[in-house]
Chains A and B, each alone.
Chain A
Amino acid sequence: MKSAVFEYALAGSLDEAVELLAQHGPEAKVLAGGQSLVPMMAMRLARPSWLVNVNEIAALKGCAPGTGEASGCWVTGAGLRQVDAERHAGLAAGVPLIAQGLRWVGHVQTKNRGTVGGSLVHADPSAELPLVARVLDAGLVLRRRAGSRVVAAAQFFDAPFVTAVEPDECLAEIRWPVWTGGRIGSAFEEVSIRHGDYAIVAACAQVALDEQGRCLRAVLGVGGASGTPIAVEPVASALAGTRLDESDIEAAAAAVGGHLDPTGDVHASVEYRLHLARVLCARVLRAARDRALRA
């Protein structure tokens, strides 16, 4: 269980990192927290010829309200440690789903190293942060030597462990939309074998209610039940105008399965995953509604 031989570069800045990626592109992997990449290298499932260590780049660890074209968002650096994102009071107030999702991620030892951006780029279909990014349609800022581009989460996740990131690109920051207007609540729930394991199925929701408790806007998503995290947009948008009462929520949860394409494995059959998706979607909608009513 030792990694194969590789060449190593410590990037002192994001410019230096993308320069190295431009040189070594398809042969190279970015080493951020390493909590998924390093075990894959130990098992020889990954054998990059180059590792570009971005852990010492302070500019990748920011966490602040966005300005300019990122205004209306909270902006987290791709290298922000998961533990720092989970404990950040301002981020929790602006985008509570991030901390709500991170509560389910790994253990203290892995969150002390694991990064927000690393989880997104790794793109495990049952991982929590990709689901939150997809449901909120976060903007992912990808840097390459020639410049940068912003990819919406809806276009970012292509397939299990496959994203829109090109070999010469590095995820620099994530823009998480902050909802305003109305009373807002959100919730994240999942079922896994042990707490901290990857989810068998995960679901999250965010809702905005008016003063009368009527739903102004809702988003809802499911992880672990398709090749990528799924935002069930038609189901969520149909909730606008309702009071999110039990029959509205049950109808929405029942409609979710039609948008999913789960596979069965030793842990859970297709039928069980669809069952979990339905139950968890109802749970997160109820919890998000109740939090919004108390907001």
Chain B
Amino acid sequence: MNEPTRRITVTVNGTEHEREVPVRLSLVDFLRETLRLTGTHVGCEHGICGACSVLLDGDPVRSCLMFAVQADGHAVTTVEGLCAAEGRMSVLQDSFCEAHGLQCGYCTPGMLVASHALLDKNPSPTAQQVREAISGNLCRCTGYQQIVDAVLLAASRRSGAAN
């Protein structure tokens, strides 16, 4: 069987990309290998680890459980799109550094995307709500406590900045 392809248009981090892709290409492989946006990590490739989390039209999803063709006409935000400005970290990213919310860094893009989505909807979450928001993301280094601390720190910094 020949490899069927489709031409798709996907807006990634605000930039529109038009590409011809094999229909079986996963969204995470499209992001990493076609667009060379390697910030999104690919871990388990079957929807368990959450490392590949991205925002689809603003909501966190697993990009290994979507084919790139399904993103046709939609907007994707990857970890690269969370930066405050070129080369500068967001408050959330900076809080992960500050609170030691990462060690090896493999899960970090997914953790950032999941917690960014949480803070967008709920600017002052409880620790329990943070744990629930990152419950679909596995981390094998930190034991999660510092990640929860980092998200809570970001929430308090963001509310401080708003006042």
Interface residues of A (CB under 8 A from B): 1-8, 10, 31, 34-35, 38-39, 42-43, 51, 53, 55, 83, 106-110, 112-113, 194-196
Q: Is B136's CB under 8 angstroms from A196's CB? A: yes
What residues on B are CB-neighbors of A55 within 8 Å? 70
Q: Is B47's CB under 8 angstroms from A35's CB? A: yes
Which chain B residues (98-132) contact chain A, with CB distance < 8 Å? Answer: 114, 117, 132
Q: Is B23's CB under 8 angstroms from A110's CB? A: no
User: Known contacts A35-B47, A39-B47, A109-B114: does B62 contact A6 (CB below 8 Å)?
Assistant: no
Taken together as a complex, chains A and B put the C-alpha atoms of A4 and B22 apart, in Å, by 11
Q: Is B3's CB under 8 angstroms from A5's CB? A: yes
- Tell me how many residues of B have a C-beta within 8 Å of chain A: 32
- The 5 residue pairs across chains A and B that have the minimum distance between CB atoms: A107-B136, A1-B45, A8-B23, A39-B46, A112-B59
Q: Is B4's CB under 8 angstroms from A38's CB? A: no
Interface residues of B (CB under 8 A from A): 1, 3-4, 6, 23-24, 26, 29, 44-47, 50, 53, 56, 59-62, 64-67, 69-70, 72, 114, 117, 132-133, 135-136
What residues on B are CB-neighbors of A10 within 8 Å? 69, 72
Q: Name 23 interchain pairs, CB-CB below 8 A, sorted by A.
A: A1-B45, A1-B46, A3-B24, A4-B24, A6-B23, A6-B24, A8-B6, A8-B67, A34-B65, A34-B70, A38-B46, A38-B47, A38-B66, A43-B46, A107-B50, A108-B60, A108-B132, A108-B133, A109-B136, A112-B59, A113-B56, A195-B135, A196-B135
Q: Is A110's CB under 8 angstroms from B4's CB? A: no
Name the contact of A42 in the complex, choosing from B23, B60, B64, B114 (C-beta under 8 A): B64
Name the contact of B1 in the complex, choosing from A5, A108, A110 (C-beta under 8 A): A5
User: Known contacts A38-B66, A53-B69, A112-B60: does B136 contact A7 (CB below 8 Å)?
Assistant: no
Taken together as a complex, chains A and B put the C-alpha atoms of A34 and B26 apart, in Å, by 12
Q: Is B61's CB under 8 angstroms from A42's CB? A: no
What residues on A are CB-neighbors of B56 within 8 Å? 112-113
CB distance from B7 to the nearest CB of A (A): 12
What residues on A are CB-neighbors of B114 within 8 Å? 108-109
Q: Is A42's CB under 8 angstroms from B50's CB? A: no
What residues on B are CB-neighbors of A107 within 8 Å? 50, 135-136
Q: Is B62's CB under 8 angstroms from A109's CB? A: yes
What residues on B are CB-neighbors of A106 within 8 Å? 136
Q: Is A2's CB under 8 angstroms from B3's CB? A: no
CB distance from B70 to the nearest CB of A (A): 6
Most chain-B Cβ atoms within 10 A of its Cβ — which of A6, A31, A112, A196? A112
What residues on A are CB-neighbors of B72 within 8 Å? 10
- Beyond A3-B67, A109-B62, A110-B62, 11 extra complex contacts between A and B, CB < 8 Å: A1-B45, A5-B4, A6-B24, A35-B62, A38-B64, A53-B69, A109-B53, A109-B60, A112-B60, A113-B61, A196-B136
Output the nearest chain A residue to B25 by Cβ-Cβ distance: A2
What residues on A are CB-neighbors of B60 within 8 Å? 108-109, 112
Output the nearest chain B residue to A37 by Cβ-Cβ distance: B65
Output the nearest chain B residue to A81 by Cβ-Cβ distance: B59
CB distance from A82 to the nearest CB of B (A): 12
Taken together as a complex, chains A and B put the C-alpha atoms of A35 and B65 apart, in Å, by 6
Taken together as a complex, chains A and B put the C-alpha atoms of A226 and B136 apart, in Å, by 27
Taken together as a complex, chains A and B put the C-alpha atoms of A29 and B142 apart, in Å, by 40
